[in-house]
Amino acid sequence: MKSLGALGAILALILPAPAAISNPSTAAAVVRADAVHDPDLAPLRTADLPSGLPFQPRSAPFTLITRGDPVPFAVFFLAALPREVLDLELDPGEERPTLTYSAGSITSSHEGGWGWRAPEEPGTYALRLDRAESGDTLFLNVFVLHSHASVESGSLNGYTIGAYESRPLRGDSIYLPPPGFIEVSSKDEDILVAPHFSVGQFLCKQPGEPRYLALSRYLVAKLEAILERSNAEGYPAPTLHVMSGFRTPWYNRSIGNRTVYSRHLWGGAADIFLDADGDGNMDDLNHDGRSSVADAQILFQIAEWVDSSENPGIRPGGLGTYKRNSVRGPFVHVDARGRSARW
């Protein structure tokens, strides 16, 4: 967790260091020596990082905590409502990084970190933390949401969302309506939410331009950890195939699902398989010459190991295997509901 490896050097080549900001007309004044506004700092995309194999684990190079949880990877995402303040907390005693932010404002800057206020306008913004001495870099793509209150008659800017249940399941707050939705145009589907996953992988199959989704940081963290473990156990793949990620309540009902509490509706579940050869089916992990539920069970065991690892960035959840049917191959359901469930 303390070494970024080649990624820091790669990011340093891709993105200008804060000290290199030289145009005072485009860069606002430094709030303090380690917080710099650079409006040219762009969200990180899949093309900005090396892709393919061999797989490169990209754990966070230093501790950064927000909303009580550590940022687990060197590239990750956060979601915030307009003008919401995110506390970015550092591990005391470690080398303090410089924070560069593309928009918003710094509300506080102190020994323990910063308070960063999100912009008023929904969209995607960038935060980057750099350590000068070690060369370590941690990058955050921040999605400023369209609030749930913006949904009118089940629609958000012409995109049908549908309705969430007014009463949360078993009184659990995770089943309250999402606070808001990420707007994703077709040109922005490649924005990264983790080192090996882009936001476009989680979009609802419901068409639209742009589209909107909810997405759980705990799900994305779990999927990145599952991918890392899969590669470590000898099942190489550059990413996981997300067969189904977010579903709007309207779309979920339209495809015949009766449940109104599926974690897919909150962007907290994904149906996944390993597909390194890109044929649209689960890879033959057990080398028996076919893609079957036996391969899904191997991926299930890897996900089970991650789910029970007690990693502080991983929330327990549901896991289930599904056999092939007439329209799709075998897969594994993964969610981060906060309690264990198996089927």
* Count of domains observed in the chain: 2
63 pLDDT above the threshold of 80: yes
- Position 8 scores a pLDDT of 53
- Asked if 182 contacts 211 with a C-beta cutoff of 8 angstroms, the reply is no
Which stretch of 13-27, 145-159, 180-194, 313-327 has the lowest confidence by average pLDDT?
A: 13-27
Give the pLDDT mean for 155-162.
98
> Does residue 158 share a domain with residue 100?
no
Q: What percent of the chain has pLDDT over 70?
A: 90
- CB-CB neighbours of 25 under 10 Å: 4
Of the ranges 31-35, 291-295, 303-307, 330-334, which one carries the lowest mean pLDDT score?
31-35
Residue 3 has pLDDT above 70, yes or no: no
Q: What is the mean pLDDT of residues 328-339?
A: 97
Residue 10 has pLDDT above 50, yes or no: no
Same domain for 180 and 46: no
Query: Is the previous residue joined to 236 through a cis bond, with omega within 30 degrees of 0?
Result: no
Residue range 83-100: mean pLDDT, rounded: 95
Pairing of strands 98-101, 113-117: unpaired
Strand partners, 45: 191
Q: What is the pTM of this model?
A: 0.91
Q: Which pLDDT tens digit goes with each residue over 253-297?
A: 999 999 999 999 999 999 999 999 999 999 999 999 999 999 999
Read off the pLDDT of each residue in 26-41 and give the average, rounded to a whole number. 70
Give the integer Cα–Cα distance in Å for 195 and 139. 10
Is residue 134 situated within a structural domain?
yes
Sorting pLDDT into bands at 50, 70 and 90, what band is 14? very low
Beta-bridge partners for 126: 141
Look at residue 311 in the predicted model and tell me its pLDDT: 87
- Confidence (pLDDT) at 33: 61
Which of these three, 82, 112, 144, is where a domain ends? 144
What's the mean pLDDT when you consider all of the chain?
91
For the cut 60, the answer to whether the pLDDT of residue 21 exceeds it is no
> Is residue 313 pLDDT above 90, yes or no?
no
Note whether 61 and 172 are same-domain residues. no
CATH number at residue 257: 3.30.1380
**If pLDDT is split at 50, 70 and 90, which confidence band does 27 have?**
very low
Q: Are residues 187 and 240 in the same domain?
A: yes
Task: Report how far apart, in Å, the C-alpha atoms of 126 and of each of 38, 101, 298 are.
Answer: 10, 6, 37
- What angle (nearest 5°) sits at the alpha carbon of residue 32, between those of residues 27 and 38? 20
| 105 and 178 belong to one structural domain | no
Domain boundary (144, 171, 188) is at: 144
In a domain, 58, yes or no: yes
Q: Is the pLDDT of residue 201 over 90?
A: yes
Instruction: Indicate if 193 and 76 belong to the same structural domain.
Output: no
DSSP H helices, the chain, are 6-14, 217-232, 249-254, 293-307
Residue 164 lies in a domain: yes
Residue 13 has pLDDT above 60, yes or no: no
Q: 126: domain CATH number?
A: 2.60.40
For residues 115 and 167, state if they share a domain. Answer: no
What pLDDT is recorded for position 149? 97
Does residue 334 share a domain with residue 282? yes
Looking only at the bridges linking them, the beta strands covering 241-244 and 269-273 are antiparallel
Residue where a domain terminates, one of 109, 144, 179: 144
Residue 117 falls within a domain, yes or no? yes
Same domain as 187, residue 159:
yes
Q: Which two tokens stand for residue 266?
A: 């909150």
Q: Which domain holds residue 79?
A: 6-144
Position 7 confidence tier, pLDDT thresholds 50, 70, 90: low
Specify whether 260 is located in the same domain as 280: yes
The answer to whether residue 1 is domain-embedded is no
